[in-house]
Amino acid sequence: MLFLSTMMNAPLVLLLVFFYTTTIFLTSSYGTLAQSSLSKGSSLSVEKPNDVLVSSNGVFTAGFYNVGDNAYYFAIWFTQSSNSTIVWMANRDQPVNGRGSILLLSRNGNLVLKDIGRIDVWTTVTNSATQVELTLLDTGNLVLQTSENDILWESFNFPTDTLLPYQPLTRHTKLISSRSRSNYSSGMYSLFFDNDNLLHLLYDGPETSSLYWPSPAILFPVGRTTYNSSRIAFINLSGYFKSSDAFKFYASDYGEGPKRRLTIDYDGNLRLYSLDEKQGEWIVSWQAIHQMCKVHGICGVNSLCVHGIHGKRCSCLPGFKEKHSTDHDWSYGCQPKFNHSYQFGSYSDFVELPYVDFYGFDMKAPQAMSLEDCKRSCLRLDSCKAVMYQKQKGMCYPKSVLFNGIRTPSFVGTTYLRLPNEILKSYYYEPDWIVSSTQMNCSTVISHTIARDYPKDRGNRFFMYLLWFVSALGGVEMVCIVLGCCFLYRTRGDANLVQQGHLFVLTGSKKFTYRELQKATSGFSNEIGRGGGGTVYKGVLPDGRVAAIKRSDQPRQYHTLVTLVREKMSTSSTDDDDHDMASIVEQVMDPRVDSPYSVAKMEVLVKVALQCVEEEKDARPTMRKVVEMLIDHHENV
């Protein structure tokens, strides 16, 4: 009877086994049993990593996403991409705290994101007396709906920088780029329907804004129509995009299969991506702009964008410098090294920039005239920054703003940059300046001397060249010495906690910092012995163990020397006495150096060296900062 009963209940047993196996699988995949919805009165906590919503197909996850030091967004991301690519954010411009923040579906039907202290950061502004549920659908759409399936709110109606398949872009919505690759806050580029019913890309920078796609030079873009006011666009699962202005395109891997997203990236380009699920990486299957220098604002005002072997490069115009040189944010462009309020024409002249054009900001309608008349017309206007001249047509374009500068051999024209005479006396245009700028990466320090003093004595040209060569060689040697010192001192105190942990596990010993040993010995006060080139002190380690700590006499001599030099430099700076400074430099110089040297340059090198040997690691300058300090001094001398 027992056997017969078991056989009769076999389907039930198999069902229970299947349910149990499925539960185990889901638990191992998501840490806890994955949920795709949130009910009234429930919440998700930033402090619980497993407090997430997962779509039933496992493609999308919604939860708290770490974007920085103790900073979190409530976001939706692709579960299977290697870097968990975000497709939507609730609070992209106001991250919440990593402690105490929650997403709450209140009992009145309102979805609220609360920061620590229960401050409302974001809300759906909804209300319902009936049962309400928040669900993450398989499409990636986060939906707040009633038990009668009435939708109160959905994330598809509030896109950030990404469109998912069948998510509509309408007259009421737009895509806004991130600020940078790692900063997800609202950036300077957007995709939207303008009042002409056309789909446009817009640059909205700190000082100016402009449309750049479709190209402003094209009055009637091919294949576009302004006669449909519905203003709607979307992409389907196969990679086909269609807009009400008749614009359309197909993905290079057109067809159903890969997961897709259409994103306006932080660099201003609109791209369609397909997910390689084996690698978890995104592949570009279409993009709006192929030459990145055509994206407005990519290098900011008073700068130039050039296409090189490795993509675009940005550089400042002659007589200009980076605005944000510390973080090298080229979107802010460059600023003049001189007073930009020009006097009458006799106080300024022009530098020739062949094959260079600047978008828009023409001061008046172009006119046919000679090059000299074109320059004179600009010199009469204080606000004229440059003229673009097309020799073949004899057309003159005076410019009031130097924006979106681009150099390309295909451009038939030359820009003449206006500079004050005092700048032109110390700077002259080098024909290879444009070529050299192509080697500069927009994310690195730009350091290129575009001019030098005019030679006064042609008879001594050989001697001058030899003198420049010797001086440059000596300067390079000095820079190498200072950089080497900085590198040694920075790396000496840069053993991080992970490396120390590995050392302790492998050898049973731990590496201590000077401050830790100083604290353990109460300032090296309890001496218990001497010998072997040092003094032994009694110390108590953080874990309570008593240790004998030996302090070498050599570092003491080193610290004494550094302290002495620093005090002397400080005293000289206070007294502001050039003679005293020369005396101090002479004292710290190696007596074997018997050749002439510049006291001012040596003063800078000593000051830089003192910064490089600061006891606190974070107080020491970076390699980049050392180079900047040396170059700034070289340019000012």
pLDDT digits (tens, 9 = 90+) for 493-520: 444 444 444 334 333 456 677 788 888 8
Output the furthest CA–CA distance in the chain (Å, rounded): 121
Confidence of residue 532 (pLDDT cuts 50, 70, 90): low
Cβ neighbours for 390, distance < 8 A, ≥ 6 positions apart: 397, 412, 413
In this prediction, residues 66-91 reach a mean pLDDT of: 94
pLDDT above 70 as % of the chain: 72
Which of 288 and 327 is assigned the larger pLDDT? 288
> CA 158, 162, 166, 170 torsion: positive or negative?
positive
Confidence (pLDDT) at 402: 93
pLDDT at 457 over 60: no
Name the pTM for this structure: 0.62
Confidence (pLDDT) at 172: 95
Question: Annotated binding site, which residues?
Answer: 550
Please say whether the beta carbons of 38 and 134 come within 8 A.
Answer: yes
3-state DSSP percent of the chain in helix, strand and coil, to 5: 30, 30, 45
Which of 348 and 457 is assigned the larger pLDDT? 348
Q: What is the pLDDT of residues 124-164, one digit of tens each?
A: 999 998 999 999 999 999 999 998 989 999 999 999 999 99
pLDDT at 377 over 50: yes
Confidence of residue 7 (pLDDT cuts 50, 70, 90): very low
Q: Which amino acid is at 127?
A: N
pLDDT above 90 as % of the chain: 43
Confidence (pLDDT) at 455: 36
Confidence (pLDDT) at 474: 67
d(CA 157, CA 171): 11
Q: What is the pLDDT of residues 429-446, one digit of tens each?
A: 444 444 334 333 443 333
Confidence (pLDDT) at 308: 75
Please say whether the beta carbons of 229 and 243 come within 8 A.
Answer: no
Distance of CA 393 to the CA centre of its chain: 42
Question: Annotated binding site for ATP, which residues?
Answer: 550
d(CA 88, CA 75): 5
d(CA 157, CA 172): 9
Please say whether the beta carbons of 301 and 331 come within 8 A.
Answer: no
pLDDT at 624 over 50: yes
Across the chain, mean pLDDT equals: 79
In this prediction, residues 86-90 reach a mean pLDDT of: 97
Please say whether the beta carbons of 152 and 126 come within 8 A.
Answer: yes
Which of 336 and 617 is assigned the larger pLDDT? 336
pLDDT at 210 over 70: yes
Which of 574 and 16 is assigned the larger pLDDT? 574
